[in-house]
Amino acid sequence: MSDKMNVQNQAPEISVEEKLVALYELQKMDSQIDEIKRMRGELPLEVQDLEDDIVGLETRIKNYKQEIHKIESDIKACRTKIKEADALLKKYETQQNKVRNNREFDSLTKEMEFQSMEVKLNEKRIKAAEDELKNKIEALDKVQKGIEDKRSNLLQSKAELENIVAETKHEEENLRKMSEEIASKIEERLVIAYRRIKTGARNGLVVVPIYRDSCGGCYNKIPAQRQLDIKSHRKVIVCEYCGRILVDEEIVANVNTLLENKKVLKK
């Protein structure tokens, strides 16, 4: 039962010429899909970069707000200490008027000096904290303005991208469907090889015609005997330099006619 299912899932056996036609047709479909992607240009990457930038700026804003809150809390704590020190100074000053000996007077004097130093120290801390607070607030304002600009740019880029996607969505879906249908006719090992080469190909070309006795992908010269082998359609032949699948003019003409009849070939 399992063997029967595997046979059913395999592409039907076709001739080498039919394989080459199917492979070149698959290439033409995928090239048109690639062209649609190129129409979008750098917009998808631009949108992603803007989204990443906004996330980074949001994190920075959150950190600035936390730092500002801490500085404000520190200033509040310093002011509380100043009030407490002032209260003690008044208390010790009153007590000095009621001392019974020099030792008590000196002890209170030292306490008052300590509290006076505590006031000055906290006033100094408040001054430094207020300067830091001012800098943090200015930095926060700058980041908040920056994030608004980024959000505005993101909305614009997203709208532009969505328009392009909407305009080409139906065409791309049809091309992908046709690409899958064509791939289903080709044996799996060839499709896997095709996809692997396409992933590494700089221009996305896997199946290329011979152009002026050269490979249409890397432009290296193809020997005359190898060209005859390609024209014979007896086996799938790849370029010995770049590994792309090579087809002759007859295959190209057959596929172009086929796609023109299907009305999917772009001139």
**Residue-range domain boundaries for the chain:** 2-39+187-262, 43-168
Give residue 266's pLDDT: 55
Which are the contacts of 51, defined by CB distance < 8 A and separation ≥ 6? Answer: 154
Class at the top of the CATH hierarchy for domain 43-168: mainly alpha
By the 8 A CB rule, do 206 and 27 touch? yes
First to last CA, the chain: 48
For residue 178, count other CB atoms closer than 10 A to its CB: 19
Give residue 8's pLDDT: 42
Give residue 113's pLDDT: 95
Per-residue pLDDT tens, the chain, 267 aa: give them.
444 434 344 556 789 999 999 999 999 999 999 888 887 878 888 999 999 999 999 999 999 999 999 999 999 999 999 999 999 999 999 998 888 889 989 999 999 999 999 999 999 999 999 999 999 999 999 999 999 999 999 999 999 888 888 888 888 889 999 999 999 989 999 999 999 999 888 788 999 999 999 999 999 999 999 999 999 999 999 999 999 999 999 999 999 998 888 766 554
For residue 34, count other CB atoms closer than 10 A to its CB: 15
Give residue 2's pLDDT: 44
Reported pTM = 0.56
* Dist. CA 89–CA 79, nearest whole Å: 15
Give residue 5's pLDDT: 39
Which are the contacts of 231, defined by CB distance < 8 A and separation ≥ 6? Answer: 248, 250
Give residue 200's pLDDT: 85
